[in-house]
């Protein structure tokens, strides 16, 4: 194999109760990337379509992630990377991590798969750190593993693969406004009440149980965030109206995707997910903000090969 073209999916981090910990992988939105072996060693970004991102390897998340795995493996070849962005940077559905995880996943294929998913996630985090200023895995992990993931700890990294109930869909609204990650972070409280924290970990526990038992009612009841959402939702125009419309249309739950501005919902079945999408459009159609709405089955495979040479 000399070259492969991959689909690197968008992902949703936090998932209401699971701030900094939970994430899941989408199927209908994602970037495409071509990763090609070169005789010359090193990593070069040769093409970027669809977004204004740096070509300099050490300033590009895909480049930095690629360097991490290439430096570890030290093969007798280099790679060049073409990035076709469909996930808008700053949308809150893991744009930077799709580039980072796509690069490491594809290079691992070119290397003959020496690394497991945990190791690939760790390489991907190196790229993610360029974008967000800190190493995070809550978007990288669901891209690499697929389905629902739980980042148990970062140091040493331990990602837990969770099961995906068979009828699980997501509907996502992306209002095209900018939420600065620095602002989304600054708005978080440093301390939280023990009582609220207890409710949050009860919900994480019951959410995980609901995934294993395919108990959609329990999943729905667990999709609550009393800690982060009350603060960050202020940064997202019409958040309350969108969330209410999603729930009224039958979504299992709704909340902020990553640090926003995208708003996600989880739904039981495609039909319901489409109904939720219609309800969201009804809220946003007469607002002065451009938006995208996505309906997606949960992607249990993660990154996929489109073709190879």
CB 32 within 8 Å of CB 306:
yes
Binding mask 209-228 for its own copies (x = CB under 8 A): x--x-----x--xx----x-
Strand 157-162 and strand 43-49: pairing? unpaired
Q: Which of residues 58-97 bind its own copies (CB under 8 A)?
A: none
151 is an interface residue for its own copies by CB under 8 A: yes
Of the listed 128, 164, 171, 229, which one is catalytic?
Answer: 128
Is position 201 an interface residue for its own copies (rule: CB under 8 A)?
Answer: yes
The answer to whether 54 and 60 are in contact (CB under 8 A) is yes
* Contact indicator for 23, 161 with CB cutoff of 8 Å: no
Closest CA to 167 of 300, 309, 6, 12: 300
b/e sequence 262-271, b meaning 16+ C-beta within 10 Å: bbbbbbbeee
> In whole angstroms, how close is the CB of 161 to its own copies at the nearest point?
9
Query: How far apart are the C-alpha atoms of 255 and 161, rounded to whole Å?
Result: 22
With CB under 8 A as the contact rule, the residue among 51, 72, 157, 160 that binds its own copies is 160
Q: Which of 116, 166, 193, 290 binds its own copies (CB under 8 A)?
A: 193
* 181 among known catalytic residues: yes
Residues 133/96, Cβ–Cβ less than 8 Å? no
Q: Which stretch binds its own copies (CB under 8 A): 28-36, 75-83, 205-213, 232-240?
A: 205-213
Nearest Cα to 261, choosing from 181, 148, 147?
181
Query: Which residue lies nearer to its own copies by CB, 160 or 177?
Result: 160
Closest to 6 in 3D by CA, of 141, 99, 128, 114: 99
Question: Which of 114, 205, 290, 305 touches its own copies by CB under 8 A?
Answer: 205
Q: What sign does the dihedral 136-142-145-150 (CA atoms) show?
A: positive
200 binding its own copies? (CB under 8 A): yes
Taking CB under 8 A as the binding criterion, the range among 51-59, 91-99, 149-157, 240-248 that sits at the site for its own copies is 149-157
Interface region with its own copies, contact rule CB under 8 A, candidates 18-26, 139-147, 233-241, 275-283 = 18-26
Q: Interface residues with its own copies (CB under 8 A)?
A: 17-22, 150-153, 158, 160, 162, 188-194, 197-209, 212, 218, 221-222, 227
Point out the residues that are catalytic.
128, 181
């Amino acid at each position: 194999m000399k070259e492969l073209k991959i689909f690197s999916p968008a992902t949703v981090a936090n998932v209401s109760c699971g701030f900094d910990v939970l994430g899941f992988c989408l199927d209908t939105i994602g970037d495409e990337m071509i990763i090609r072996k070169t005789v010359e060693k090193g990593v070069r970004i040769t093409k970027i379509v669809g977004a204004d991102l740096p070509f300099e390897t050490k300033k590009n998340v895909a480049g930095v992630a690629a360097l991490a795995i290439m430096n570890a493996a030290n093969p007798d070849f280099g790679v060049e990377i073409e990035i076709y962005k469909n996930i808008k940077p700053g949308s809150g559905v893991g744009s930077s991590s799709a580039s980072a995880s796509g690069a490491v996943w594809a290079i691992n294929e070119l290397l003959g798969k020496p690394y497991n998913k945990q190791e690939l996630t760790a390489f991907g985090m190196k790229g993610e750190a360029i974008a967000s200023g800190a190493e995070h895995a809550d978007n990288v992990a669901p891209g690499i593993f697929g389905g629902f993931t739980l980042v148990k700890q970062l140091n040493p990294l331990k990602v837990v693969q969770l099961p995906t109930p068979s009828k699980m869909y997501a509907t996502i609204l992306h209002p095209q406004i900018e939420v600065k990650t620095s602002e989304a972070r600054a708005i978080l409280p440093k301390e939280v009440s023990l009582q609220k924290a207890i409710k949050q970990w009860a919900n994480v526990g019951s959410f995980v149980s609901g995934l294993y038992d395919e108990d959609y009612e329990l999943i729905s009841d667990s999709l609550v965030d009393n800690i982060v959402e009350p603060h960050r939702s202020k940064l997202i125009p019409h958040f309350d109206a969108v969330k209410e419309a999603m729930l009224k249309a039958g979504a299992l739950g709704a909340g902020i995707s990553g640090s926003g501005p995208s708003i996600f919902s989880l739904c039981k079945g495609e039909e319901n997910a489409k109904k939720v999408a219609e309800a969201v459009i009804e809220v946003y159609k007469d607002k002065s903000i451009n938006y995208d709405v996505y309906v997606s089955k949960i992607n249990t495979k993660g990154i996929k090969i489109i073709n190879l040479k």
